[in-house]
């Protein structure tokens, strides 16, 4: 039987290729496009942030004005439209709210009116789909910024029966961000009454928690890996929301993100000095030599190079590396690091190459082409994350024949198979303790395999390069999740 094609409204506060600050933007944009390629009718709605240049994306006015009813007032927005292949993209234009940069904060603190901005956006997304006559089977919302949408759908009856059968699915990209409002001043604007102002729904310590309300009203909930789905059902992973999520446990699933296989493919990667694949690794040796040169390391194919790319943030566990780095660098290994973030980690890792010339190299900054060279030229890749909802770098590493060394959390646990000492099975090295000792021992184990068991290293490398991290699997996972949402919606009322 042919699979039913769905009408999907993807609502997100950011999406590639238009504007992105993190994983949410990667997933929303790529997934919307992939679903449309799979034959679904998909409409993506974003705010028209001022970082999105109308000329660059050929934005055309679609609706002017769009009436958005909020509480007792009607606001007037505009809607722009563009196409990405078969994907229709709408942008809600409202200068007071989206005519600013950065997207969510002034560089230090979140904007004071973030709640009002994204409540407006959530309402506008539904008003606009109704205005253009796009009646979705399912609305897919992402993180707290659009978590009000499931509530609006279930109470839309006041505005007609357009969304009577529409289901909703909420994806949690990072439960650390919840859209917490310090008081109840937003409640009248979004039509919350005493029923919704209880802790089971939106109320939270005298204010509102928009993500929590989303848990209550959405028909299905997903997060970006099966292990993260388990971690957020408890504390500290749930960031205080685990009891509320627990009530929706049977409607929660974890779906790993895919990677962009056009951008991250060692056989086609134009950012590398040479290309390679699993059958011919000569290009990888060229990349390694180039990497050693770029970071001022001793150029020697026999020395194992450990790479690291990422935000220097508490989440990424780089303080663990800092705590054992001197011991690691007393061994016959080399290490390179690319990252920005925490100033004290920046100054430590920026200083380190001076203390270990020829052995340790770093670049403090954001440089995508260098990230590609590190993935391709390293032999191992280190990710000691405290938590990692999905993680992309470990998947890039395996694709590039670079064995990841990871803490077994979230998507790292789901995508890296641990080495088996006796047989050489596995695609990387996994440790579980959040401790410098566990990290040090695991880097030591990888170093041992490199020097003493090259056959096992080769076997693991071939297995890592054969993994399928494309979006195909994820698209299938979301199709199943949409069906679950639709079935549950049918039984609501």
Binding residues are: 20
Size of the site for ligand ADP (CB under 6 A): 15
Stretch that binds ligand ADP, among 2-10, 198-206, 236-244, 309-317 (CB under 6 A): 309-317
Query: What DSSP line would sit under 352-399, residue for residue?
Result: HHHHSTTTEEEEES--HHHHHHHHHH-SEEEE--S--SS-SHHHHHHH
> Minimum Å distance from CB 263 to ligand ADP?
9
Closest to ligand ADP by CB, 172 or 309: 309
SS3 content of the chain, % helix, strand, coil (to 5): 40, 20, 40
Residue 456 near residue 388, CB atoms below 8 Å: no
Residue 159 CA from chain centroid, whole number: 34
Spatial CA neighbour of 406 closest among 253, 283, 225: 225
Query: What SS3 state is found at 101?
Result: coil
For tokens 């759908």, the residue is 153
Cα–Cα distance measured from residue 148 to residue 118, given in angstroms and rounded to the nearest whole number:
9
Q: CA distances (Å), 130 to each of 151, 156, 217, 322, in order?
A: 16, 11, 20, 54
Q: Measured from the CB atom, is 22 or 357 closer to ligand ADP?
A: 22
Residue 93 backbone zone (phi > 0: left; psi -120 to 50: alpha; other: beta): beta
Minimum CB separation of residue 271 from ligand ADP in Å reads: 11
Q: Given the complex with ligand ADP, which of 120 and 349 has the nearer CB atom? A: 349
Contact positions with ligand ADP (CB under 6 A) in 18-37: 22-23
Q: Provide, rounded to whole angstroms, the least separation between the CB of residue 294 and ligand ADP.
A: 14
Is 311 one of the binding residues for ligand ADP (CB under 6 A)? yes
What is the C-alpha to C-alpha distance for residues 165 and 86, in angstroms, rounded to an integer?
Answer: 25
In the complex with ligand ADP, the residue whose CB is nearer, 6 or 338, is 338
272 binds ligand ADP (CB under 6 A): no
Q: By CB under 6 A, tell whether 461 contacts ligand ADP.
A: no
The Cα–Cα gap between 213 and 21 comes to: 24
Under rule CB under 6 A, residue 309 binds ligand ADP: yes
Closest to ligand ADP by CB, 318 vs 371, is 371
Which residues carry a binding-site annotation for ADP-alpha-D-glucose? 20
Residues numbered 359-418 forming contacts with ligand ADP, rule: CB under 6 A: 366-368, 371, 391-393
Terminal Cα-to-Cα distance of the chain (whole angstroms) = 29
Residue 143's nearest CA partner among 20, 25, 7 is: 25
Instruction: Give me the least distance between CB of 341 and ligand ADP, in Å please.
Output: 8
Smaller CB separation from ligand ADP, 48 or 372: 372
Is 338 a binder of ligand ADP (CB under 6 A)?
Answer: yes
Rg (CA), the chain: 24
Residue 339 touches ligand ADP, criterion: CB under 6 A: yes
Each residue 37-76 as x (binds ligand ADP by CB under 6 A) or -, in order, gives ----------------------------------------
Chain residues that interact with ligand ADP, rule: CB under 6 A: 22-23, 309-311, 338-340, 366-368, 371, 391-393
């Amino acid at each position: 039987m042919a699979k039913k094609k769905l009408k999907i409204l993807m609502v997100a506060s950011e999406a590639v290729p238009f504007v992105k600050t993190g994983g949410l933007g990667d997933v929303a944009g790529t997934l919307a496009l992939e679903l449309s390629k799979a034959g679904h009718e998909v409409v993506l709605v974003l705010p028209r942030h001022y970082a999105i240049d109308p000329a660059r994306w050929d934005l055309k006015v679609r609706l002017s004005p769009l009436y958005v009813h909020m509480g007792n007032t009607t606001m007037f927005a505009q809607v722009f439209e563009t196409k990405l292949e078969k994907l229709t993209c709408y942008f809600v234009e409202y200068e007071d709210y989206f005519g600013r940069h950065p997207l969510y904060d002034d560089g230090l603190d979140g904007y004071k009116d973030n709640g009002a901005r994204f409540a407006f956006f959530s309402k506008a997304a539904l008003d606009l789909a109704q205005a253009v006559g796009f009646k979705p089977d399912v609305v897919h919302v992402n993180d707290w910024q659009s978590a009000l949408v499931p509530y609006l759908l279930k109470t839309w009856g006041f505005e007609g029966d357009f969304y009577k059968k529409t289901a909703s699915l909420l994806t949690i990209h990072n439960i650390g961000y919840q859209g917490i409002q310090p008081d109840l001043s937003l409640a009248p604007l979004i039509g919350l009454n005493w029923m919704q102002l209880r802790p089971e729904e939106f109320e939270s310590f005298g204010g509102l928690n928009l993500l929590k309300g989303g848990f209550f009203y959405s028909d299905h909930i997903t997060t970006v890996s099966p292990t993260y789905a388990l971690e957020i059902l408890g504390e500290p992973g749930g960031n205080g929301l685990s009891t509320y999520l627990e009530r929706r446990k049977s409607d929660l699933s974890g779906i790993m993100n895919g990677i962009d296989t056009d951008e991250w493919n060692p056989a086609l990667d134009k950012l590398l000095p040479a290309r390679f694949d699993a059958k011919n690794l000569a290009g990888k040796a060229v990349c390694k030599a180039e990497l050693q040169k770029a970071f001022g390391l001793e150029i020697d194919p026999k020395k194992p190079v450990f790479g690291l790319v990422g935000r220097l943030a508490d989440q990424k566990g780089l303080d663990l590396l800092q705590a054992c780095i001197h011991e690691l660098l007393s061994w016959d290994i080399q290490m390179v690091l690319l990252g920005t973030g925490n100033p004290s980690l920046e100054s430590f890792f920026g200083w380190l190459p001076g203390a270990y010339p020829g052995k340790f190299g770093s670049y403090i900054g954001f440089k995508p082409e260098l990230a590609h060279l590190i993935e391709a030229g390293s032999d191992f890749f280190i990710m000691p994350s405290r938590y990692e909802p999905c993680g992309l770098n470990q998947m890039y590493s395996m694709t590039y024949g670079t064995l990841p060394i990871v803490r077994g959390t979230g998507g790292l646990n789901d995508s890296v198979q641990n080495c088996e000492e006796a047989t050489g099975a596995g695609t990387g090295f996994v440790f579980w303790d959040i401790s410098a000792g566990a990290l040090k021992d695991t880097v030591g184990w990888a170093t041992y395999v490199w020097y003493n068991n090259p056959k096992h290293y080769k076997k693991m490398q071939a297995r890592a390069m054969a993994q399928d991290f494309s979006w195909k699997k994820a698209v299938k996972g979301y199709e199943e999740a949409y069906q679950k949402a639709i079935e549950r919606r049918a039984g609501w009322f």
